[in-house]
Structure 1
Amino acid sequence: MTKTAQPNLYTAYDWNVLADKALRGELLTEAEALSVLEADDDELLAIMQAAFRVRKHFYGRKVKLNLIINAKSGLCPEDCGYCSQSIVSTAPVSKYPLLEKTTLVDGARKALELKVGTYCIVASGRGPTNKELEQVIEAVREIKETMPMKICACLGILSEDQANRLKEAGVDRYNHNLNTSEGHFASITKSHTYEDRVNTVDKAKNAGMSPCSGCIVGMGETNRDIVDIAYSLRELDADSIPVNFLNPIPGTPLQGLKELNPRKCLKVLALFRFICPSKEIRASGGRELNLRSLQPLALYAANSVFVGDYLTTEGQEATLDHRMIEDLGFEIELCAL
């Protein structure tokens, strides 16, 4: 007796059905979410077109630019397996204490010249000391007084008082990535917990700062883990979601791990657009390495990118990002405070 072939669940969807659900604010089922990640590559352009319907509804053709300054490098006691600055890393990275106020302010001026709307002050470590916090606050105050610039701080785990002080100084957004699903978290770091990260995002939100939290894909997680972190970030109500793609830096515990290809990365970005339709989705760290020649397609799902370098890895020339945006017929969204 001949066995009847069964349809492939993960290519059976009309991707516009998922876009319609997203536009109505309805949550994709787990099966629907997995269908995006496990779809045949022949479905890729149809998936991206459906994701673009959602992206265009909320953001049109505008692209938000962000720039990172590595305000404090190395010297971190945490054991995050992906990070070249962690205590378990042997990667040769620059190590220096928190930059002086003048350097942080000068970095904001450079960001403004590059048409950046959000300037991200990022420091390694478990969390800021009072002295470090005050240095950041002084820089933020000067930047806000002299430039039309949104500021995001990423300083690690915060207390309620620290969060309130940052907000009072003028910090618009606070970033603290969940990084991966709760179930996969202990495989990546054990020196702090998933709940520690959720609590910090909540403290930033309660202080009145816009919550920014995202993930890193390609760290040995399953597709269900990716779906779980997307669901978690929706529930957390993060306004900005940086989607990072692992750069397996030599000297880190995840060195040599190469699970991603450009098509998978694009499907991940589309998934986040479907699950968090109205949020800023940012194609972030590792996009140049992992998306390669397909980088422009990322902006059919994402509406935000980093320009310039990351923390310890090089990014793409900002002029190339400007050209990519122009070639797509998209438009840089300038800061409107």
Structure 2
Amino acid sequence: MKNLILEVAERILSGGNIKMEEALELINIDENNTEVLKALFEGANSIRKKFAGNKADLCTILNTKSGKCSEDCKFCAQSIHYKTGVDEYELLDYNKILERAKEMEQEGAHRFSLVTSGKRISGKDFNKIVDIYKRLNRDTNLKLCASHGIISYEQAVKLKEVGVSMYHHNIEACKDYYSKICTTHTYEDRIKTIENLLNAELEICCGGIIGMGEGNTERIKMAFEIKSLGVKSIPLNVLNPVEGTPLENRIPLSPNEILKTMALFRYIIPDCYLRYAGGRMALKEKQNIGFKAGVNAALVGNYLTTIGNKIVDDKRMIICEGFEI
């Protein structure tokens, strides 16, 4: 197995690609085989250094509208289909949003994203969010990102006009597994939104969630599907089972399973920002190892419905692993 790792890593470093069957073989490495895992991680790290350098990208999000989502995504605390006790509120006041943005900017975040619950944003809410981005672009030096569900090409163009540079829209799971986690919209609906964003010439942040009951094959398929979209910012979430959702009893993935998956994403998409996102607390004391196994970006601060690491702690960890912030 170590010979395969070395062969694949060398091929990628020389400008080639990993094959699907090779990725499937590598992701099935026994998580307790520390010697082989070490070789896999070292290969991912060398690929990251060559194709993405030593700069780490930090982003933060603000849950700007919470709860009452019409969709039945089985992992989500904000769905109206499940009783999770999540806070519910309409669009936040601009002054609250600006206060949070300034705080994140001062703490060293590069990007700031507004996130709203719901299948899509439209009408008065969309007009309000456009105005908010326009004002944030004027009042901060942050790169502005957006995450508002399914949007049209026309909406994407308007967001770009007021200073949004990147739109976040996960595929969540591979095409073959998607219907098992959501039935109120389709995988194709998500791809259509990504096509609208590409046509509007917005950068795209697109990843997914692991640990929802999918197998290793589905995780590798998701990575190749994301690669086919040309995405360069890839947030990998780890399921944090929420009480009241259909996935509440899922056993969390082990740290080595998480790290192994992230390393394979680096082999598959060598030049991306591979981003720690929600649920990385499952790594426990091994969070720093990801930065030696292909990861080079992080969602920092508090997340949508969970508490994340303190930004100062993340920065210290990342710098200790040899990255520039």
Rounded Cα–Cα distance in structure 2 between residues aligned with 1:27 and 1:80: 33
2:53 aligns with one of 56, 60, 69: 60
For each residue in 1:85-120, what CA deviation from the matched residue of structure 2 results, as whole angstroms up to 9, or x when unmatched? Answer: 012221111000111222222221111011101111
How far off its partner does 1:205 sit? Answer: 1.4
For each residue in 1:294-329, what CA deviation from the matched residue of structure 2 results, as whole angstroms up to 9, or x when unmatched? Answer: 100111211100111110011111121122113223
Q: How does 1:207-218 map to 2 (within 5 A)?
A: 207-218=200-211
State the one-letter code of the partner of 1:331.
Answer: E
1:293 is aligned to 2:269: no
Instruction: Name the structure 1 match of 2:168.
Output: 175
Instruction: Name the structure 2 match of 1:143.
Output: 136
1:89 aligns with one of 77, 82, 86: 82
For each residue in 1:259-285, what CA deviation from the matched residue of structure 2 results, as whole angstroms up to 9, or x when unmatched? Answer: 510001111111111111111110111
1:318 is aligned to 2:318: no
Deviates more, 1:218-227 or 1:133-142: 133-142
- TM-score with structure 1 setting the length: 0.92
- TM-score with structure 2 setting the length: 0.95
State the one-letter code of the partner of 1:21.
Answer: R
Are 1:102 and 1:139, in contact at CA under 8 Å, matched by a contact in 2?
A: no
Rounded Cα–Cα distance in structure 1 between residues aligned with 2:183 and 2:17: 31
Equivalent pairs: percent with the same residue?
36
Instruction: Name the structure 2 match of 1:335.
Output: none
Rounded Cα–Cα distance in structure 2 between residues aligned with 1:250 and 1:243: 21
Deviates more, 1:11-20 or 1:214-223: 11-20
Q: What secondary structure, in the 3-state scheme, does the structure 2 residue paired with 1:62 have?
A: coil
Structure 1 residues 21 and 132: alpha-carbon distance in aligned structure 2, compared to 1, 3 A threshold: farther
How far off its partner does 1:25 sit? Answer: 4.3
Instruction: Name the structure 2 match of 1:3.
Output: none
For each residue in 1:124-170, what CA deviation from the matched residue of structure 2 results, as whole angstroms up to 9, or x when unmatched? Answer: 00100222222222121222223221111000000111111111111
Instruction: Name the structure 1 match of 2:21.
Output: 31
For each residue in 1:190-214, what CA deviation from the matched residue of structure 2 results, as whole angstroms up to 9, or x when unmatched? Answer: 0000000011011111111101110
Rounded Cα–Cα distance in structure 1 between residues aligned with 2:81 and 2:15: 42
Q: How does 1:67-106 map to 2 (within 5 A)?
A: 67-106=60-99
How far off its partner does 1:30 sit? Answer: 2.0
Cα RMSD (Å): 1.3
Deviates more, 1:305-314 or 1:19-28: 19-28
Are 1:216 and 1:245, in contact at CA under 8 Å, matched by a contact in 2?
A: yes
| Length, aligned pairs only | 321
Rounded Cα–Cα distance in structure 2 between residues aligned with 1:198 and 1:175: 12
How far off its partner does 1:24 sit? Answer: 4.1
Rounded Cα–Cα distance in structure 1 between residues aligned with 2:110 and 2:11: 30
2:295 aligns with one of 298, 302, 309: 302
Which sections of structure 1, spanning at least 5 residues, go unmatched?
Answer: 1-10, 333-337
Are 1:81 and 1:88, in contact at CA under 8 Å, matched by a contact in 2?
A: no
2:5 aligns with one of 2, 5, 15: 15
Are 2:71 and 2:119, in contact at CA under 8 Å, matched by a contact in 1?
A: yes
Instruction: Name the structure 2 match of 1:244.
Output: 237
Instruction: Name the structure 1 match of 2:158.
Output: 165
State the one-letter code of the partner of 2:17.
Answer: L
Rounded Cα–Cα distance in structure 2 between residues aligned with 1:99 and 1:330: 35
Which sections of structure 2, spanning at least 5 residues, go unmatched?
Answer: none
Q: What secondary structure, in the 3-state scheme, does the structure 2 residue paired with 1:238 have?
A: coil
Are 2:133 and 2:144, in contact at CA under 8 Å, matched by a contact in 1?
A: yes
Q: What secondary structure, in the 3-state scheme, does the structure 2 residue paired with 1:172 have?
A: strand
2:118 aligns with one of 125, 129, 134: 125
